[in-house]
Chain A
Amino acid sequence: MTAVGIETSGHDPALEPSSYGHEAAVGREAFERIERTWRSPAGFVGWFTQVNHSAIGLRFIVTAFVFFILSGLLGLAMRLQLAMPLNEMLSPEAYNQIMTVHGTAMMFLFAIPAMEGVAIYVAPLMVGARDMAFPRLNAFGYYVYLIGGSAFFLSLALGMAPDAGWFNYVPLANKTFSEGYGVDIWTTMITFIELSALTAAVELIVTIMKLRAPGMSLDRMPIFVWAVLVMSFMILFAMPSVMVASAFLMMDRLVDTQFFIVENGGSPLLWQHLFWFFGHPEVYIILVPALGIVTSIVVTFSGRPLFGYTALVLAITGIGMVSFGLWVHHMYTTGLPFMGRSFFMAASSMIAIPSGVQVYCWIATLWGGKVRFATPMLWVLAFFGVFIAGGLTGVMVASVPFDRQVHDSYFVVAHFHYVLMGGAVFPLMGAIYYWFPKATGRMLSERLGIGSCLTVFVGFNITFFPMHILGLQGMPRRVYTYVDGLGWGNMNLLATFGAFLLALGFALTLFNVVRSLRHGAVAPDNPWGGSTLEWATASPPLNCNFIQQPVVESRRPMWDWREAGSRTVVAGLSEDRRETMVTTLLDARPQSVMVLPGPTPWPFVSAVAASFGFIGLIFSPWFFPIGFFAVFATMVFWFWPRHPWRKK
């Protein structure tokens, strides 16, 4: 890495060209025409036709956080129930449903979609594209997620929620032991929601590979974009496994196939293999983009170029690949052959290597810079602390003998909340503080932000640290209560107290967001002095993202421009069609121009048709062909070409 002649010290927004003169760049008339071309229709009906990535990305994020709040409230309910021995607030049935919905929703409805949302919002801006490659598919994916997620939560309100835990093990989840519709809702809705993850993944991959601004060769791509790319490939290869598993289970329950029925040649362990072949990478699907967020923030707030770019790219890719070879460590207690277990134990420990490389890169980047401890950076520091603690217990449970002791105890609950909260929630909070000004044009309050970060950090540790001890003392997970006299009461009470503190911390950020939307200070284009292209557009971004698409000559276009006093751009794109550059895969040489579709209601109609089919499947197999042809019909209208534009 060559150091460039950039001042490393404190960033001064006053020196930043606070506006790049978006309007002046092309003249008022052209500016308005372009913005009209890219405008999303307003109003209630208009909402269902919007396709711009900034609109869809924001919806993903907001919806994911609504599900986060709901699932968090369920977490509080569980903590209340467990606060003292033999508490009777929740019945065992209610506890099981709440626990299952909390776990499932946090993983499938919050963590992954939130990461996808940030990716959909930020990645196209970072690569200098005007929109994503398939805007309508993007919208379709969102409606699928919204409808599927809402149906899932609705089942809890109706008291018919799934109750077999978030990994839904058979035989417990078989019809014999789980009557009612709960597990059916799990299998259909999870399969359905995965569909939206898959569309987002394809969309992100193609956008990143083909729509990068001219000059942004692969080795100039921001680390966050690399991370999103790796995440998307992981989704592509991991999700099919859980979809197949849940399809098997759905059919076992619906049309009496025998996949998991031992008496007739089925195998419950098949479920575990398929589920964890997805389930382990899923943790990294969540973690990898979070690492990208952390890197973005570290670079910006240290004010200097990233140390070890190539090493970081390799580390992130390595984590993505190795994570596919680890699933069996969730199955150490299922009586697998000894050799097999040892292999997976070694592989599980190997993940420590790329993780270590990353931490060193971040430290080295921060080392020489004058670090500004603004709120996004504080969340990153909290992430370091929590995630490293989770990593340590991770190394512990990766070892077979230790895991066989603590398996299914509260030690594991503590471990994965350290990893998931540390690895996903803290970076996401950092992302909110970091990109909120870009997305809304307003700054968040720093004071409220600092208060929120501290409260969450302290509350988190008070909630989950005692669970390590409880686990070692033998408290099993997934119990709705415990008897007096085991000595678990105090620690549980402490954890419950912590959970409320934690909730208060999140509430502070929620308040901050709501308040700042109206009263926050107006944000300039590049409030933090970031080096990547999302800061080159207005805050909030223009409809077209970039009034002139940028051309990139290094890894840090914004800093280059600041030094040179001029921007480098593309000219000659249409003002009346939605056009964006297509470039070559490796070195991003201009290749062609893509004409993108505008607003349309068909993705919404299609998603409704698909939901109809999937929700119907809970009750009858006939909804499979019905849904199939309904979706096909809507797709024909969707793809019916309406713009017979001529060659100019």
Chain B
Amino acid sequence: MKARVLVDASDIDRFAPHTHPLWWGILGAVAIEAAVVATLLTSYFYLAAQNPAWPPEGVAPPDLFWPTVVLVLLPLSSFTMWWAGKGSDRGDQRQLSIGVTASVTLAVLALVARSFQIAEFDASWNDHAYGSILWVITGFHYTHVVSAVSGTAVVAVLAWRGYFTPERQLGVVVDTVYWYFVAGVFLPIYLVLYIAPRLL
């Protein structure tokens, strides 16, 4: 059977990081994670509604200081991440390297702040459902920051070694999307875990 050529792919771009399917894939991963967070937060409210007092009698809601520090650090780290991406788009490897390194540093600081805050929790995970859900949501987010930091640390090392030529920016673009999510999702968590118990 004869073939009529309708599309010639010879000159079509092979290195389009912003429309690359992987970008969509990360969006899918983010959608899943967002669904998990939504489920966790809904469970929090469900358990709250089942209990006469929330937090239970004699338990203080978590202190606001450290979470607020985290709330500042994470968006800041997203900003440096965005700035790094701008550099990478222009082919500026130095800006990229500095940017991702700054992000990793800021996020590590956020992890430290978060650890202080966890040490201060008034409730343990094993004496009341309140403590359980508090710890689990916190642990979930903590784990995600750790994985975003680990992944981005690898990107940072590669960036300093000049790996990300314009054809290889994809890794940066994808890592950035995930980073935004991990940073952004802290806002609803903050509102629910730290503000809501003061209003309920």
A interface vs B, CB < 8 Å? 17, 20-21, 25, 133-134, 137, 198, 201-203, 205-207, 209-211, 214-215, 236-237, 239-241, 243-244, 247-248, 251-252, 255-259, 261, 264-267, 269-270, 273-274, 548, 551, 561, 565-573, 579, 581-582, 590-595, 628, 632, 636, 639, 641, 644-648
Taking the closest CB of chain B, its distance from the CB of A546, in whole angstroms, is 11
Task: Compute how far the CA of A244 lies from the CA of B36 in the bound complex, rounded to whole angstroms.
Answer: 7
Asked if B28 and A17 make an inter-chain contact with CB atoms under 8 angstroms apart, the answer reads: no
Asked if B3 and A566 make an inter-chain contact with CB atoms under 8 angstroms apart, the answer reads: yes
* B150-178 contacts to A (CB < 8 Å): 150-151, 154, 167-168, 171
* B1-35 contacts to A (CB < 8 Å): 1-16, 19-22, 24-25, 28-29, 31-32, 35
Task: Compute how far the CA of A469 lies from the CA of B10 in the bound complex, rounded to whole angstroms.
Answer: 67
Asked if B25 and A236 make an inter-chain contact with CB atoms under 8 angstroms apart, the answer reads: no
B147 CB within 8 Å of chain A:
yes
Which residues of A sit under 8 angstroms from B128, Cβ to Cβ? 258, 264-265
Taking the closest CB of chain B, its distance from the CB of A224, in whole angstroms, is 21
Asked if A240 and B28 make an inter-chain contact with CB atoms under 8 angstroms apart, the answer reads: no
Asked if A211 and B21 make an inter-chain contact with CB atoms under 8 angstroms apart, the answer reads: yes
| Centre residue among A258, A582, A645 by max chain B CB count within 10 A | A258
In the complex, the 8 A-B pairs of residues with the closest C-beta atoms, listed nearest first: A572-B10, A265-B129, A202-B28, A257-B132, A572-B9, A240-B35, A256-B126, A566-B2
Choose among A211, A214, A236, A237 the residue that contacts B6 (Cβ–Cβ < 8 A).
A214
Which residues of B sit under 8 angstroms from A261, Cβ to Cβ? 129
B51 CB within 8 Å of chain A:
yes
Task: Compute how far the CA of A274 lies from the CA of B1 in the bound complex, rounded to whole angstroms.
Answer: 55
Which residues of A sit under 8 angstroms from B21, Cβ to Cβ? 133-134, 206-207, 210-211, 582, 594
Which residues of B sit under 8 angstroms from A202, Cβ to Cβ? 25, 28-29, 32
Asked if B3 and A567 make an inter-chain contact with CB atoms under 8 angstroms apart, the answer reads: yes
Taking the closest CB of chain A, its distance from the CB of B89, in whole angstroms, is 16
* B125-157 contacts to A (CB < 8 Å): 125-133, 135-136, 143, 146-147, 150-151, 154
For B, the interface residue count at a CB cutoff of 8 angstroms equals 56
Asked if B5 and A571 make an inter-chain contact with CB atoms under 8 angstroms apart, the answer reads: yes
Taking the closest CB of chain B, its distance from the CB of A601, in whole angstroms, is 20
B interface vs A, CB < 8 Å? 1-16, 19-22, 24-25, 28-29, 31-32, 35-36, 39-40, 43, 46-47, 50-51, 56, 125-133, 135-136, 143, 146-147, 150-151, 154, 167-168, 171
Nearest-CB residue, chain A, relative to B154: A636
Known: A202-B28, A561-B1. A591 touches B51 (CB 8 A): no
| Centre residue among A198, A206, A579 by max chain B CB count within 10 A | A206
Asked if A244 and B50 make an inter-chain contact with CB atoms under 8 angstroms apart, the answer reads: no
| Centre residue among B11, B32, B133 by max chain A CB count within 10 A | B32
Asked if B129 and A267 make an inter-chain contact with CB atoms under 8 angstroms apart, the answer reads: yes
Asked if B7 and A571 make an inter-chain contact with CB atoms under 8 angstroms apart, the answer reads: yes
Choose among A21, A593, A628 the residue that contacts B9 (Cβ–Cβ < 8 A).
A593
Choose among B8, B14, B32 the residue that contacts A647 (Cβ–Cβ < 8 A).
B14
Asked if A568 and B15 make an inter-chain contact with CB atoms under 8 angstroms apart, the answer reads: no
Asked if A581 and B131 make an inter-chain contact with CB atoms under 8 angstroms apart, the answer reads: no
Give 5 pairs: A residue, B residue, CB < 8 Å, sorted on A: A202-B29, A264-B127, A266-B132, A594-B20, A645-B14
Asked if B125 and A270 make an inter-chain contact with CB atoms under 8 angstroms apart, the answer reads: no
Asked if B9 and A240 make an inter-chain contact with CB atoms under 8 angstroms apart, the answer reads: no
Which residues of B sit under 8 angstroms from A273, Cβ to Cβ? 46
Asked if B13 and A267 make an inter-chain contact with CB atoms under 8 angstroms apart, the answer reads: no
Asked if A551 and B1 make an inter-chain contact with CB atoms under 8 angstroms apart, the answer reads: no
Nearest-CB residue, chain A, relative to B25: A206
Task: Compute how far the CA of A425 lies from the CA of B87 in the bound complex, rounded to whole angstroms.
Answer: 54
Task: Compute how far the CA of A210 lies from the CA of B20 in the bound complex, rounded to whole angstroms.
Answer: 9
Taking the closest CB of chain B, its distance from the CB of A215, in whole angstroms, is 8
Choose among A201, A569, A595 the residue that contacts B28 (Cβ–Cβ < 8 A).
A201
Taking the closest CB of chain B, its distance from the CB of A1, in whole angstroms, is 25
Is the contact region of chain B dominated by helix, strand, or loop, or is it mixed? helix
Taking the closest CB of chain B, its distance from the CB of A217, in whole angstroms, is 14
Which residues of A sit under 8 angstroms from B2, Cβ to Cβ? 565-567
Task: Compute how far the CA of A17 lies from the CA of B20 in the bound complex, rounded to whole angstroms.
Answer: 36
Which residues of A sit under 8 angstroms from B8, Cβ to Cβ? 570-572
Asked if A548 and B3 make an inter-chain contact with CB atoms under 8 angstroms apart, the answer reads: yes
Nearest-CB residue, chain A, relative to B53: A265
Which residues of B sit under 8 angstroms from A581, Cβ to Cβ? 7, 9, 12
Asked if A248 and B136 make an inter-chain contact with CB atoms under 8 angstroms apart, the answer reads: yes
Choose among B6, B25, B131 the residue that contacts A568 (Cβ–Cβ < 8 A).
B6
Task: Compute how far the CA of A632 lies from the CA of B149 in the bound complex, rounded to whole angstroms.
Answer: 12
Choose among B5, B7, B16, B129 the residue that contacts A592 (Cβ–Cβ < 8 A).
B16
Choose among A21, A239, A267, A632 the residue that contacts B1 (Cβ–Cβ < 8 A).
A21
Known: A266-B47, A591-B19. A240 touches B36 (CB 8 A): yes
Known: A572-B10, A573-B9. A267 touches B46 (CB 8 A): yes
Asked if A257 and B24 make an inter-chain contact with CB atoms under 8 angstroms apart, the answer reads: no
Task: Compute how far the CA of A206 lies from the CA of B167 in the bound complex, rounded to whole angstroms.
Answer: 22
Choose among A137, A258, A647 the residue that contacts B132 (Cβ–Cβ < 8 A).
A258
Asked if A274 and B43 make an inter-chain contact with CB atoms under 8 angstroms apart, the answer reads: yes
Which residues of B sit under 8 angstroms from A210, Cβ to Cβ? 21, 24
Taking the closest CB of chain B, its distance from the CB of A277, in whole angstroms, is 8
Which residues of B sit under 8 angstroms from A591, Cβ to Cβ? 12, 16, 19
Which residues of A sit under 8 angstroms from B25, Cβ to Cβ? 133-134, 137, 202-203, 206
Task: Compute how far the CA of A277 lies from the CA of B21 in the bound complex, rounded to whole angstroms.
Answer: 30
Task: Compute how far the CA of A551 lies from the CA of B135 in the bound complex, rounded to whole angstroms.
Answer: 53
Contacts A265-B51, A561-B1, A647-B15 known; 10 new A-B pairs at CB < 8 A? A133-B22, A209-B24, A257-B132, A270-B43, A548-B3, A570-B5, A571-B7, A581-B7, A594-B20, A646-B167
Asked if B28 and A205 make an inter-chain contact with CB atoms under 8 angstroms apart, the answer reads: yes
Which residues of A sit under 8 angstroms from B50, Cβ to Cβ? 265, 267, 269-270
Which residues of B sit under 8 angstroms from A20, Cβ to Cβ? 1
Known: A202-B28, A551-B7. A565 touches B14 (CB 8 A): no
Asked if A569 and B46 make an inter-chain contact with CB atoms under 8 angstroms apart, the answer reads: no
Which residues of B sit under 8 angstroms from A251, Cβ to Cβ? 125, 132, 136
Which residues of A sit under 8 angstroms from B154, Cβ to Cβ? 636
Taking the closest CB of chain B, its distance from the CB of A267, in whole angstroms, is 5
Which residues of A sit under 8 angstroms from B133, Cβ to Cβ? 259
Which residues of A sit under 8 angstroms from B136, Cβ to Cβ? 247-248, 251, 257
Asked if B39 and A240 make an inter-chain contact with CB atoms under 8 angstroms apart, the answer reads: yes
Known: A267-B46, A267-B129. A593 touches B12 (CB 8 A): yes
Which residues of B sit under 8 angstroms from A592, Cβ to Cβ? 12-16, 19-20
Which residues of A sit under 8 angstroms from B19, Cβ to Cβ? 582, 591-592
Task: Compute how far the CA of A258 lies from the CA of B32 in the bound complex, rounded to whole angstroms.
Answer: 25
Which residues of A sit under 8 angstroms from B24, Cβ to Cβ? 133, 205-206, 209-210
| Centre residue among B12, B147, B167 by max chain A CB count within 10 A | B12
Asked if B36 and A243 make an inter-chain contact with CB atoms under 8 angstroms apart, the answer reads: yes
Which residues of B sit under 8 angstroms from A647, Cβ to Cβ? 14-15, 167
Asked if A628 and B3 make an inter-chain contact with CB atoms under 8 angstroms apart, the answer reads: no
Task: Compute how far the CA of A386 lies from the CA of B20 in the bound complex, rounded to whole angstroms.
Answer: 44
Task: Compute how far the CA of A568 lies from the CA of B2 in the bound complex, rounded to whole angstroms.
Answer: 9
Known: A267-B47, A567-B2. A595 touches B150 (CB 8 A): no
Asked if B12 and A590 make an inter-chain contact with CB atoms under 8 angstroms apart, the answer reads: yes
Task: Compute how far the CA of A592 lies from the CA of B20 in the bound complex, rounded to whole angstroms.
Answer: 8
Asked if A270 and B46 make an inter-chain contact with CB atoms under 8 angstroms apart, the answer reads: yes
Asked if A274 and B39 make an inter-chain contact with CB atoms under 8 angstroms apart, the answer reads: yes
Taking the closest CB of chain A, its distance from the CB of B80, in whole angstroms, is 22
Which residues of B sit under 8 angstroms from A636, Cβ to Cβ? 154
